[in-house]
Amino acid sequence: MYPCSSTTLERTLLLEEMSVRYHVMKRKWQCLIPGAVRLRLNGTDAELVAAVQYFEKRQQREKETQQYHYKSQEVRKRISFLELQAQVLFERVTFDLEELQEAIRIIDKDVPRTDRGLAYYTDEGLGNLLVLRDILITYAAFHPEVSYAQGMNDLCSRFLEVLDSEVDTYWSFCCYMEKFSRDFCADGLHRKIELEAALLKELDPHLHAHLVTDNIDRLTFCHRWLLLGFQREFEHSDALRLFEILSCDHLELISQQVDRARYQERLTYKHNFQDEPMTEPQSINREFTFELFICATILLENRDSLLSCRNEVQLLQFTNSLQGTLDLNSSLKKAEEHFYNYCKRKGRDCLSECYRRHKSNEEPFLYQLRNLFS
């Protein structure tokens, strides 16, 4: 949530500003829809009733701590200025009340079901469920183009569990969603499954032909894996570690290193073939993110079971059977092998195409070969 170039001092000031902005944003929707400030309870979930009580006590403690922190006149002036600045910034923001209330309705259904078995949400930690609720509602209110969709509670919960800070979680979640919000839209879902099918075809055409017939609908059972970062397929601590790995663009074909390599490749290509009118051959698909290789690895490791599946029901049973059973280190190692093998194969195919087109001139091919593996 901080710019990479920021200093320690700048981050302290930025956090203060983001904290004020978050609380101004939260107050805005709470004033507009006062009935949504508290989670509606039907009285059947005693733990949820206790969660509300813990949450209210927590809010009171935080309020008292904040008042003590703002005791300094200099700090009070700075906070007052930041609050005024935030109020001006968000003054013109308008909400579609009908859509926001619908989002709150879905959030109120999803939040109570979020990771209730985790230690972070037990005993007094039950109040963290209500913290999660406020974060998700604030996000939905100020990001109407995305709003809220099922699954966001599970993603946001990871940030909250690790950071244990409402403000840090909100802004980290916002930054994460800038990149991945499309996955929660229908076209994003379709595109991700389409890419997974294309990668599987590259790695195992036979398995691809079995799972994908006239359309890609039969691979939709992979979407939960990709949307939630394999949260239920690995043990919880491993799932958190994998989520961090995927979030940091591990071995991504969109990374700066790959960009530099492709730039050098284009320069070399232009240098060797500048006199000949020819289009540059296609090489790797840069949309194949590492999470797609993780997904493909799971499919390939369970190839026999998948080949025996004959319908959607059997595929769903297979998916459910994997929950909490996968070994992360093994999966990572095999996914990396598939990644490197894919890149090498596409590189060889690209150079072979160049060689076929320029078989009368051996030097350009050898030159590119040296550059590719140097």
Q: Which ranges constitute the DSSP H helices of 36-72?
A: 46-69
Q: For residue 166, what pLDDT band results from cuts at 50, 70 and 90?
A: very high
190 plus 176 within the same structural domain = no
Distance CA 299, CA 302 (A): 5
Q: List, in sequence order, every residue forming a beta bridge with 326; answer none if it has no partner.
A: 234
pLDDT at 281: 44
Neighbours of 245 (CB within 10 A): 18
Neighbours of 357 (CB within 10 A): 15
pLDDT at 218: 72
For 317, the token pair is 């049973």
109-113, 171-175, 339-343: which range is least confident on average? Answer: 339-343
Q: Provide the strand spans (E) within the chain.
A: none
What do you get for the CA distance between the two ends of the chain, in Å? 36
pLDDT at 196: 93
Which is higher by pLDDT, 360 or 332?
A: 332
Calculate the average pLDDT of the chain. 84
Residues 6+ away with beta carbon under 8 Å from 58: 124, 127, 131
Residue at 2 is within a domain: no
Q: Does 372 score more than 90 pLDDT?
A: no
256 plus 228 within the same structural domain = yes
Mean pLDDT over residues 129-139, rounded? Answer: 96
Q: For residue 279, what pLDDT band results from cuts at 50, 70 and 90?
A: very low
**Single-letter amino acid code for the residue at 28:** K
291 plus 340 within the same structural domain = yes
Q: For residue 131, what pLDDT band results from cuts at 50, 70 and 90?
A: very high
- The pLDDT tens digits for 17-74 are 999 999 999 999 999 999 998 888 776 678 888 888 888 888 887 776 666 566 677 7
Q: List, in sequence order, every residue forming a beta bridge with 234; answer none if it has no partner.
A: 326
154 plus 194 within the same structural domain = no
pLDDT at 212: 83
Residue at 367 is within a domain: yes
Residue 282 half-sphere exposure, CB side, CA atoms within 13 Å?
2
227 plus 296 within the same structural domain = yes
**Parent domain of 301:** 185-374
Domain end position, chosen among 111, 146, 180:
180
- The pLDDT tens digits for 288-308 are 889 999 999 999 999 999 999
Residue where the block lists tokens 């950071």? 163
Domain end position, chosen among 180, 212, 235:
180
- The pLDDT tens digits for 303-333 are 999 999 888 888 888 888 898 889 999 999 9
Distance CA 252, CA 246 (A): 9
* pTM score: 0.82
Domain end position, chosen among 180, 209, 242:
180
CB 204 within 8 A of CB 300: yes
